[in-house]
Amino acid sequence: MIVTSSAIQNGVFEDKYGKRGSQFSPNGMPTYSIPFEIQNAPEGTKSFAVVLEDKDAITASGFVWIHWLIANLERTSVQENESLTAADYLQGANSWASVLGKFDVAEASSYGGMAPPNCLHRYELIVYALDTKLDLAQGFRFNDLHFAMQGHILAQASVMGCYDV
């Protein structure tokens, strides 16, 4: 399985997908979501789960920052800026709904773009091919997704890009 994103140019996410973009939630979270495509999913794939995470956030927040959670995606592409209007997949609460982000779960249950506070960060988009749809509700948390996927992962693929301060 392969995942690609046209949002990454020469290893770097374009400005519009993060804090240098022009689209934000009422409380200032970047919301212009990245596009991606999935190829060569294994036979038997019923849905995809997606995690966009920033492990480099540990240097600033003390934990891996989750920027986007998707469950029950049944197609192989997501278009640019689709997160706010998508109705055919579930989105979980990102880390903007954490103690540090202080957003409510409803506002943070979509794409929450890149905003590194201290240095260049690497952002990894991980796609999981699953043999089922997951029993989750809109606004689920990362741990809900993690445990729901156990025993259902057929394959996974990732792509990484950077975003600077």
**Where do the structural domains in the chain lie, given as residue ranges?**
2-163
Q: What would the pLDDT profile of 28-61 be if each residue is shown by its tens digit?
A: 999 999 999 999 999 999 999 999 999 999 999 9
Q: What's the pTM?
A: 0.97
Q: Residue 101 pLDDT more than 90?
A: no
- Average of per-residue pLDDT across 66-91: 97
- Mean pLDDT for the chain overall: 97
Q: How long is the chain?
A: 165
3-class DSSP state of 56: helix
Fold that domain 2-163 belongs to in CATH:
Phosphatidylethanolamine-binding Protein (3.90.280)
**Got the DSSP string for 21-43?**
SS-B-TTS-B--PPPEEEESPPT
pLDDT value for 21: 98
